[in-house]
Amino acid sequence: DTSLTEVNSFSPSVPISPSSMINQYKFEDGPELRDLFITVDDPESHITAIETFITYRVVTKTTRGEFDSSEYEVRRRYQDFLWLKSKLEEAHPTLIIPPLPEKFIMKGMVERFSDEFIETRRKALHKFLNRIADHPTLTFNEDFKIFLTAQAWELSSHKKQGPGLLSRMGQTVRAVASSVRGAVKNRPEMFTEMNNYMETFCQKINLLDKIAHRIYKEERDYCNEMKEYGPIHTLWSASEEAIAESLKGIAGCIDRCCKATEKRMAGLSEHLLPLLHEYVLYSEILMGVLKRRDQIQGELDSKVDALANKKTEKDLFSEEIGKLEDKVERANNALKADWDRWKQNMQWDMRSTFTNVAENNLRYYEE
């Protein structure tokens, strides 16, 4: 992406090393400016007659005046995180809501409720809440505050106050109706460019995700072969006195290579794979946000067309059009600001993660 070099050009006097490249990035949300710190930890299994589920401890520390206390500790299950995400999407349809890990995982990757799965999910939930906390608008959402501070029974009571089934069905029907109307006629050029960018990004990030998983699988297979191959040389050395020392040396060498490969795999599974998958989910979210913006625009366009075709009720239509124009402008402004912020964060995440992979690979080959 040529815009990377345009926006983040580095001084020729500075040596371009991976670390110096990362240090060039500066963000306004530095740790010294933050007033809300969230930790997700201590997963706990719960078994009832109906279901088995995991809850996580959510600890919040804050200096904000709108909070009654400076520290909160609550337990939340995955369903509660889903509720929060849906409330944020409902309140801010044209903002980019961070993704949650999927409820169901791909067959064959890791077992549900295994330690590996629970830890992977804990990290993703921790990142989800902290991305919201760092967002200039979402961080002040009332449902987010309730999620962080309310006890379990208070949260359940608050959840029941949401829109009824018929209201939700009505929203779904309207959304589907809007999405099948066809292309938006008066979409500003900026949002057409965003759509094109996201279509390309979606293809590339999905491809990167598949390649990374394939590399990880090949590394795992290679490591498993080495685990079998090393002991064979040790056993062989017992029956070949003349070359016993050489065979033991090869066995030791294979063992060191195996440990280095395991470290490399750990780096991939802890850093690269989760980040790529997060941005696969982000690409789906952004396509949805752009579609919702188009739906608001489409609603305005249809009213303008209706006004042009009707002689009567002009005053009523004019008032509705005025309201829709304001709604479109608010949606556009919200998405523009969020787009720039998301793109900057994405570039930082990608650059730092791929730099980390490169440094791990250097260490691996040195070992």
Q: Quick one: pLDDT at residue 1? A: 43
329 domain-assigned? yes
Average pLDDT score over residue span 212-228 = 94
Residue 114 has pLDDT above 90, yes or no: no
3 domain-assigned? no
Higher pLDDT, 163 or 301: 301
21 domain-assigned? no
pTM for the whole structure = 0.78
Q: How far lies 277's CA from each of 6, 43, 120, 286, in Å? A: 27, 22, 12, 14
Average pLDDT score over residue span 331-357 = 94
Higher pLDDT, 306 or 346: 346
Residue 297 has pLDDT above 90, yes or no: no
For residue 338, the tally of other CB atoms under 10 A from its CB is 21
Range ranked top by mean pLDDT from 19-23, 171-175, 363-367? 363-367
d(CA 54, CA 45): 5
Say if residue 47 is in the same domain as residue 112: yes
Please identify which residue in the block is written with the tokens 């589907």: 176
| Least confident window among 33-42, 219-228, 309-318 | 309-318
d(CA 41, CA 56): 6
Average pLDDT score over residue span 173-188 = 57
Say if residue 50 is in the same domain as residue 99: yes
244 domain-assigned? no
Q: Quick one: pLDDT at residue 313? A: 62
197 domain-assigned? yes
Say if residue 204 is in the same domain as residue 143: no
| Least confident window among 9-13, 104-108, 322-326 | 9-13
Please identify which residue in the block is written with the tokens 């998301």: 342
Using the 3D structure, point to which of 101, 132, 154 is the last residue of a domain. 154
Say if residue 145 is in the same domain as residue 190: no
Task: Give me the domain span that covers residue 41.
Answer: 34-154
d(CA 54, CA 16): 45
Please, what is the Cα angle at 170 between 167 and 173, to 5 degrees? 155
Say if residue 48 is in the same domain as residue 197: no
Say if residue 213 is in the same domain as residue 353: yes
- pLDDT classification of 320: cutoffs 50, 70, 90: confident
Range ranked top by mean pLDDT from 13-22, 190-199, 309-318, 322-331? 190-199
Q: Evaluate whether 300 touches 338 at the Cβ level (below 8 Å).
A: no
Say if residue 137 is in the same domain as residue 89: yes
Higher pLDDT, 17 or 230: 230
Higher pLDDT, 8 or 302: 302
Residue 319 has pLDDT above 60, yes or no: yes
Say if residue 48 is in the same domain as residue 108: yes
Question: What is the per-residue pLDDT across 19-39, written as a single tens digit (0 to 9) for each?
Answer: 444 444 444 444 457 889 999
Q: Quick one: pLDDT at residue 303? A: 78
Say if residue 60 is in the same domain as residue 147: yes
Residue 282 has pLDDT above 70, yes or no: yes
Residue 175 has pLDDT above 60, yes or no: no
d(CA 203, CA 208): 9
The amino acid present at 147, given as its one-letter code, is F
Residue 103 has pLDDT above 90, yes or no: no
| Least confident window among 49-63, 79-93, 247-261 | 49-63
335 domain-assigned? yes
Residue 278 has pLDDT above 60, yes or no: yes
Q: Quick one: pLDDT at residue 312? A: 52
Burial class (CB in 10 A: 0-12, 13-18, 19+), 107: exposed
The tokens for 121 are 């999910």
83 domain-assigned? yes
Residue 9 has pLDDT above 70, yes or no: no
Residue 353 has pLDDT above 70, yes or no: yes
Q: How far lies 97's CA from each of 129, 166, 197, in Å? A: 11, 25, 18
Residue 85 has pLDDT above 80, yes or no: yes
- pLDDT classification of 83: cutoffs 50, 70, 90: very high
1 domain-assigned? no
Q: Quick one: pLDDT at residue 173? A: 41
Say if residue 205 is in the same domain as residue 95: no
Residue 3 has pLDDT above 60, yes or no: no
Per-residue b or e along 263-294, where b marks 16 or more CB atoms closer than 10 Å to that residue's CB: ebbebbbebbbbbbbbbbbbbebbbebbbbbb
Q: Evaluate whether 118 touches 54 at the Cβ level (below 8 Å).
A: yes
Residue 163 has pLDDT above 70, yes or no: no
Q: Quick one: pLDDT at residue 130? A: 95
Domain count, the chain: 2
Q: Quick one: pLDDT at residue 13? A: 40
Say if residue 190 is in the same domain as residue 150: no
Q: In CATH, what number is assigned to the domain containing residue 148?
A: 3.30.1520.10
Say if residue 75 is in the same domain as residue 192: no
Coil, helix or strand at residue 248: helix
Using the 3D structure, point to which of 113, 134, 154 is the last residue of a domain. 154
| Least confident window among 15-19, 212-216, 251-255 | 15-19
